[in-house]
Chains A and B, each alone.
Chain A
Amino acid sequence: MRPLWRAFAASNRGVDSGSLALSGATPDAFVMNALSVRGLTKTYSNGVQALKGVDLEVERGDFFALLGPNGAGKTTLIGIITSLVNKTAGEARVFGHDIDRELEAAKACIGIVPQEINFNMFETPHTIVVNQAGFYGIPRQVARERAEKYLKQLQLWDKRNGISRGLSGGMKRRLMIARALMHEPRLLILDEPTAGVDIEIRRSMWDFLREINARGTTIILTTHYLEEAETLCRNIAIINGGRIIERDGMRSLLGRLHVATFVLNLRESLGVAPHLEGYVTRLVDDHTLEVEVSKEESINEIFARLSALGIEVLSMRNKVNRLEEIFMRLVEGRAIPGEGAGEVASAGAPATPRTPAEVAR
């Protein structure tokens, strides 16, 4: 009977704690933040240590990127927060609600778009979203109205009465987004929501996410499209091998990359790379030249020099996205050019969380 009692006890504590998060005179980050994770570890039954002591703070109203290579522990971390995975040790709070003591209140705040499809393929999209709202205590009439609103916004209204198995991959992902929004959560967690979604719809999803973020919903996003994270998110954490290796404001992080590599497309073919005093250049093929430019230097100077040499540039692009460059360097434990060696050493260990206030919004 004890577990039964525990279930009752845990949930009843949840009732009076609703105001707790907002009444504190000295707002402790652990109480005030949308998400607060301390010392979280997870060892799966097969011995895999997926999380090795994760600390993470996500402010209210933030649009937060959680990035990391395959197997880094992103889904495990999200699983613990949404109680799909039992944690091994540590604490987590959602809007001040401890997941051990006020699980119901914590879960009521979260909307989750999982990485893998997890709705009943034999139910219709309409049934799926209306029932999901019911599991969060939304009355059926309200749920029907919201179903119309969100299925329309995610362009699934025409498909609402067919069985979900018949949806395309991108539609299935959108259905999971609609489902997560039905109880209008304060924290929306999206685990690779745009995987397999076409460009047009991806962009409309971005607009959509920006809009709900602007209306006050805190968003945590994992994605392998770094351009997406760069465009959308204000703050970022990079997780690798079960540890947070970087936590910074997006602009501040991007600002730390002091060198950009440009790829120039040339009209005439070149035999050898032209010598440009003070720049590192490399000839990729006879029509393509790469130039490394540090942040302080102007690009005009390069064009001036190339013109002087009679070399005409047809077009130019960035070699890689800036975030991609930083991400690769952090994950591989290499230095970010322009930063002191000391910074790099800290990349291997859990980074001290920087306050997101650093970043201009």
Chain B
Amino acid sequence: MNSVAQAAAPPIRLNVVRWIGFKTIVIREYGRIIRIWGQTIVPSVVTAVLYFAIFGSLIGRRVGVMGGFDYKQFIAPGLIMMSVITNSYGNVVASFFGAKFGKHVEELLVSPLPNWVIVAGYATGGVVRGVLVGLAVTVVSLVFTHLHVHHLALIFTALVLTSLTFALAGFLNALFAKNFDQVNWIPAFVLTPLTYFGGVFYSVSLLPDWAQNLSYVNPILYMVNAFRFGFLGVSDVDVGVAFALMASAAIVLFAVAVGLMNRGTGIRE
């Protein structure tokens, strides 16, 4: 036995390891977003341009005023939010499922990082993508209309909480998914309809009572309205309730994701 092997190993400072590990996951996710920017950033920008051109400029002219604002101004926060939701979710589901599929998730699983750090890292990656795309769509909006800022901090909080919630939801989707169909299924059949019915294009006050009541169980309605409130100062729902809902959703989803990871669901034999 040689002396080197016997020597005391330096103590492992777990909190330092976790912090550096967390940053590394975020940096890696950011690198992925930038590396494949044609798939991560561009599509939402193109979609936003189309929406503004067709719904905003062509149809919007006939709609006139919505919720007390010019139609383009009214839909701008909704369109930004829509791209934030799709992209936060899409980033995590694609990246984490890709890591499972390509087996490089093992790089993280064998590392000393606890599962909550891994979940937090991926979720933050999703937020980064949501915010980047949100900014890009905001720039597009500014080309078509002017944005009034009612309360910047609220805008930002709503943006982060929404993208965090959907990033975590995307993580759960990726954990359970066994193939690429299951990665595409929820965005297509759950997320898109909920977003369209979530008051992106209209104020729910236009709806008949039953449809309004139904809309209130749609979580996206609260997110879109909280965000719109930050810009326009108008909302179909109680903004306090909306923020409480978003925060609770993020906390619950985080706990569930960490719990499933600890059990090994979808990642460990």
Residues of chain A at the chain B interface (Cβ within 8 Å): 1-4, 6-8, 10-12, 14-15, 18-19, 22, 44-45, 59-61, 79, 82-86, 95, 103-105, 107-110, 112, 114, 116-123, 127-128, 131-132, 134-140, 179, 186, 214-218
> Chain B interface secondary structure, helix, strand, loop or mixed?
helix
Which one of B5-13, B86-94, B134-142, B185-193 contacts A? B5-13
Number of interface residues of B (CB under 8 A): 52
Q: Which of B4, B14, B260 has a CB less than 8 Å from the CB of A104?
A: B14
**Residues on A with beta carbons closer than 8 Å to the beta carbon of B17:** 104, 108, 136-137
Q: Are B269 and A137 in contact (CB under 8 A)?
A: no
**What residues on A are CB-neighbors of B109 within 8 Å?**
82-84
A169 vs B252: C-alpha distance when bound (angstroms): 44
Also in contact, A136 and B5, with CB within 8 A (given A4-B255, A18-B11): no
Contacting A at CB under 8 A, from B102-140, are 102-104, 106-116
A110–B25 CA distance with the chains assembled, in angstroms: 20
A315 to chain B, nearest CB (A): 40
Contact A14 B106 (CB under 8 A): no
Pair B27/A137 contact, Cβ less than 8 Å: no
From B5, B9, B113, A135 is in contact (CB under 8 Å) with B113
The answer to whether A104 and B12 touch (CB under 8 A), given A60-B1, A112-B110, A216-B2, is yes
Q: B178 CB to closest chain A CB, in angstroms?
A: 14
Q: Which residues of A contact B9 (CB under 8 A)?
A: 18, 95, 109, 186
Cα–Cα, bound, A2→B259 (Å): 8
A275 to B220, CA, bound (A): 93
With A79-B269, A84-B268, A108-B17 as given contacts, are A135 and B4 in contact (CB-CB < 8 Å)? no
Is the Cβ of B116 less than 8 Å from the Cβ of A7? Answer: yes
Min distance, Cβ A361 to any Cβ of chain B, angstroms: 9
- Residues in chain B near residue A103, CB distance under 8 A: 112, 114
Bound CA span A104–B109, Å: 11
A104 and B104 contacting across the interface, CB-CB below 8 Å: no
- Establish whether residues B7 and A135, one from each chain, have CB atoms under 8 Å apart when the complex forms: no
Interface-centre pick from B23, B102, B110 (highest chain A CB count, 10 A): B110
**A215, B4: Cβ atoms under 8 Å?**
yes
